[in-house]
Structure formats: structure tokens, C-alpha cells
């Protein structure tokens, strides 16, 4: 029971922080839009929508173990901790071959775009036949020829284990 309470408190705290960040980002985007006209405002909103759609498509490819589609979301310059793009492909291809379904849910998606880079964060709830976890995922995407590609990602667990 205590573990569930701690998880709930952490999720609520993250939710509050994300909403504050989104509110600041929207306010900044609105201010910038007023300065530069509605054309930029629509472009900013469209870019945020495009990044969000890319993240949900990425998650669906992962849930469906569609290796080719899933890996298409990654840039060749991708890195995550000690893994480069080539090693990431090997790791994910091997994992997708394991038996069992994948459950993946995304909560509190936040997108911040500056120049051609999108900084994305969300709460990720993952479960397969071997693992189950909840954590915060942070990603950086770059817009390459009109397509958003993941260049880095980091995941931190939110659940606190009882000693």
C-alpha cells in the first residue's frame, strides 16, 4: 500500500510540473505568435502536434513489435547512455523477438521545440512478459527534412522500492 501511495504522489508531482511547463511553453508560444503574426503561431502548434503524433506512432510500433517501423523513428546519430544507433538496433531487434505481448502507455506528454530540436518528456508505463515498470522518459528529436527523428532518450524509474 505504501509503495502505491508513493507512486501516486510522484505521478501527481510530475503531472503538476509538466502542466506548469506546458503552460509556460504555451504562454511563450502565444507571446511569440503575437509578435510575429498568426502564421508562426499555427506553425508552432502544427510542429508540436507533429512531434506528439510521432511519439504516439513510435509507441504503437513498439507495442506491436513492428521492428522496422519502430527503428524508423531513430536518427543514425542516436545515442542512449552507452548505446549508439547500431547497438540500439541490435538490442531492440533481439527484444522484439521475445514472446509475449507488450503493453505501453504514455501519460502527461510535454513537448518543447526550439529551432529544429524537440524536447519531449512523458510518464511511461511498460509491461511485457518479463518486465513491468513506470518511469519518466525524456527524448530529444531533430527535424530532418520534415520528419522528426529521435536522437537521444533517457528513462528514469518513478517507483520507489520498499527497503
Grade residue 20 by pLDDT with cuts at 50, 70 and 90: very low
pLDDT score at 6: 56
Q: Which domains does the chain have, with CATH numbers?
A: 2-157 (3.10.450.50)
**122-133 pLDDT, tens digit each:** 999 999 999 999
pLDDT score at 144: 86
Grade residue 17 by pLDDT with cuts at 50, 70 and 90: low
- The yes-or-no verdict on residue 115 having pLDDT over 60 is yes
pLDDT score at 15: 59
Mean pLDDT of the chain: 83
pTM: 0.73
Distance between CA atoms of 86 and 72, rounded to whole angstroms? 13
| Grid cell for residue 32 | 511569440
**131-152 pLDDT, tens digit each:** 999 999 999 999 988 899 999 9
Q: At how many degrees (to 10) do helices 2-36 and 38-63 cross?
A: 150
pLDDT score at 110: 96
| CB-based burial label for 104 (10 Å; 0-12, 13-18, 19+) | middle
**21-78 pLDDT, tens digit each:** 544 455 454 445 455 455 456 668 899 999 999 999 999 999 999 999 999 999 999 9
Q: What is the 3-state secondary structure (H, E, C) of the chain?
A: CHHHHHHHHHHHHHHHHHHHHHHHHHHHHHHHHHHHCHHHHHHHHHHHHHHHHHHHHHHHHHHCCCHHHHHCCEEEEEEECCEEHHHHHHHHHHHHCCCCCCEEEEEEEEEEEECCEEEEEEEEEEECCCCEEEEEEEEEEEEECCEEEEEEEEEEECCCCCC
Amino acid at each position: 500500500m505504501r509503495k502505491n501511495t508513493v507512486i501516486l504522489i510522484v505521478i501527481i508531482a510530475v503531472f503538476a510540473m509538466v502542466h506548469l511547463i506546458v503552460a509556460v511553453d504555451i504562454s511563450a508560444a502565444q507571446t511569440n505568435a503575437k509578435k510575429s503574426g498568426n502564421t508562426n503561431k499555427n506553425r508552432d502548434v502544427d510542429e508540436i502536434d507533429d512531434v506528439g503524433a510521432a511519439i504516439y506512432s513510435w509507441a504503437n510500433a513498439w507495442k506491436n513489435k513492428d521492428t522496422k517501423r519502430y527503428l524508423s523513428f531513430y536518427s543514425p546519430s542516436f545515442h542512449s547512455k552507452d548505446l549508439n544507433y547500431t547497438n540500439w538496433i541490435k538490442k531492440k531487434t533481439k527484444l522484439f523477438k521475445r514472446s509475449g505481448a507488450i503493453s505501453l502507455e504514455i501519460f502527461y506528454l510535454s513537448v518543447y521545440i526550439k529551432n529544429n530540436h524537440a524536447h519531449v518528456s512523458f510518464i511511461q508505463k511498460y509491461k511485457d512478459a518479463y518486465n513491468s515498470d513506470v518511469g519518466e522518459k525524456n527524448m530529444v528529436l531533430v527535424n530532418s527534412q520534415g520528419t522528426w527523428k529521435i536522437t537521444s532518450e533517457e528513462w528514469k524509474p518513478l517507483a520507489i522500492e520498499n527497503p
